[in-house]
């Protein structure tokens, strides 16, 4: 699994060194229940754009939890950013989490903070200066069309607005890896297009993007994206070659 792998059409080589995420024989179960994820073996190439699909209950969210370090695998090995993290001490985790942007399916905005403060959180956690935070957050809120709603609190925002705040929070720190769970589930087609464009722009700037979605139009609209499909906790296309093989530019980052 670790040697260079020739992709479907023979002109893209992905080495282990290029991989930002590596899963080897990963399994996950909650408590003493049945395995939710089984024998996951895959790599995400640095700078790649990947969609993850699968029916409800297939294990997409659990897989994402492993990726954004909210869960540890019950077996197998998870490597992120070249580091083996399956058994890493928990004190090491925050530094890795700061390199990952997450868009949660349920947004997870802090209700009593304004949209601005929600978006600013990752930068404040990273200890950035307030004047830097101000500029970055305003710019991003403007980009997602919420410049005039920056003082609003989540309960006063619509579902779509909350989702855009969640996305802004996930990308504000320019993460190396962006993980999004159904990021366009609550926005209209036009906003979905803009958000995908934002993800693509981040991707062009070097962020590796993984988006879990049911939205086939989204997948079709993203040129060069890989597709992974989960069925009953197993990847049915572990090579990521199901559709849209990555362009050479993306694969080599």
Partner 1 sequence: MRRFVPALADRRLLPQGGTRLTPWLIGVLMFVAVLVGAAGLAIANAAAAVAQGAEQRWSIQLPGGARHASAAAAAARQAQGVADVRPVPDQQVRSLLQQWLGPEAASADLPVPALIDVELRPGANGVDLRRRVLAIAPDARVQSFPEQLGPMLRGLRTLQGLTLGLLVLMAAAIAAAVMLATRGAYDTHRSTVAVLHGIGATDEQLAALFQQRMGREALVGGSAGAIPALVLVLLLLAGLERGTNLAAAGGSPLHPGDLIILGALPFVTGLVALLVARVTVLRALRADP
Residues binding partner 1 (CB under 8 A): 68-72, 90-91, 93-95, 97-98, 102, 108-110, 112-113, 117, 121-122, 124-127, 130, 169
CB of 135 to partner 1, least distance (A): 17
CA distances to 56, 64, 73, 135, 193 from 36, rounded to whole Å, are: 12, 12, 11, 42, 32
CB of 70 to partner 1, least distance (A): 6
Q: Are strands 13-14 and 5-6 parallel, antiparallel or unpaired?
A: antiparallel
CB of 90 to partner 1, least distance (A): 7
Q: Please identify, using beta-carbon distances, which residue of 95 and 189 lies nearer to partner 1.
A: 95
Report whether 228 contacts 51 (CB < 8 A): yes
Q: Please identify, using beta-carbon distances, which residue of 96 and 143 lies nearer to partner 1.
A: 96
Report whether 212 contacts 206 (CB < 8 A): no
CA distance 18 to 251: 8
Rg (CA), the chain: 18
Report whether 115 contacts 152 (CB < 8 A): yes
CB of 105 to partner 1, least distance (A): 13
Q: Please identify, using beta-carbon distances, which residue of 63 and 192 lies nearer to partner 1.
A: 63
CB of 68 to partner 1, least distance (A): 7
CA angle 222, 225, 227 (to 5 degrees): 115
Q: Please identify, using beta-carbon distances, which residue of 110 and 236 lies nearer to partner 1.
A: 110
CB of 222 to partner 1, least distance (A): 25
Q: Please identify, using beta-carbon distances, which residue of 45 and 85 lies nearer to partner 1.
A: 85
Closest CA to 187 of 209, 170, 208, 162: 162
Residues 6 or more apart whose CB falls under 8 angstroms from that of 126 comprise 98, 173
CA distance 210 to 202: 12
Q: Please identify, using beta-carbon distances, which residue of 14 and 141 lies nearer to partner 1.
A: 141
Q: Please identify, using beta-carbon distances, which residue of 101 and 233 lies nearer to partner 1.
A: 101
CA distance 232 to 15: 28
List the beta bridge partners of residue 149: none
CB of 88 to partner 1, least distance (A): 10
Q: CA torsion sign, 174 to 175 to 176 to 179? A: negative
């Amino acid at each position: 699994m670790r040697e260079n792998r020739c992709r479907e059409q023979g002109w893209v080589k992905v080495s282990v060194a290029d991989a930002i995420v590596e899963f080897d024989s990963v399994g996950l179960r909650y408590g003493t229940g049945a395995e939710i994820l089984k024998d996951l073996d895959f790599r995400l190439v640095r700078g790649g754009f990947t969609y993850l699909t699968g029916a409800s209950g297939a294990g997409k969210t659990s897989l994402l939890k492993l990726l954004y370090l909210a869960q540890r695998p019950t077996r197998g090995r998870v490597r992120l950013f070249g580091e083996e993290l399956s058994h890493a001490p928990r004190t090491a985790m925050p530094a890795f989490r700061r390199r990952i942007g997450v868009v949660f399916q349920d947004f997870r905005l802090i209700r009593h903070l304004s949209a601005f403060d929600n978006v600013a959180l990752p930068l404040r956690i990273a200890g950035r200066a307030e004047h830097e935070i101000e500029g970055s957050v305003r710019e991003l809120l403007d980009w997602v069309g919420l410049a005039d709603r920056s003082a609003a609190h989540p309960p006063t925002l619509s579902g779509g607005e909350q989702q855009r705040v969640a996305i802004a929070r996930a990308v504000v720190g320019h993460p190396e890896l962006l993980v999004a769970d159904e990021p366009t589930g609550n926005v209209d087609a036009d906003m979905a297009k803009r958000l995908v464009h934002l993800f693509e722009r981040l991707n062009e700037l070097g962020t590796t993007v993984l988006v879990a979605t049911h939205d086939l139009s989204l997948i079709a609209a993203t040129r060069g994206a890989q597709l992974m499909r989960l069925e009953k906790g197993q990847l049915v296309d572990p090579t990521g070659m199901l559709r849209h093989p990555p362009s050479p530019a993306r694969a080599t980052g």
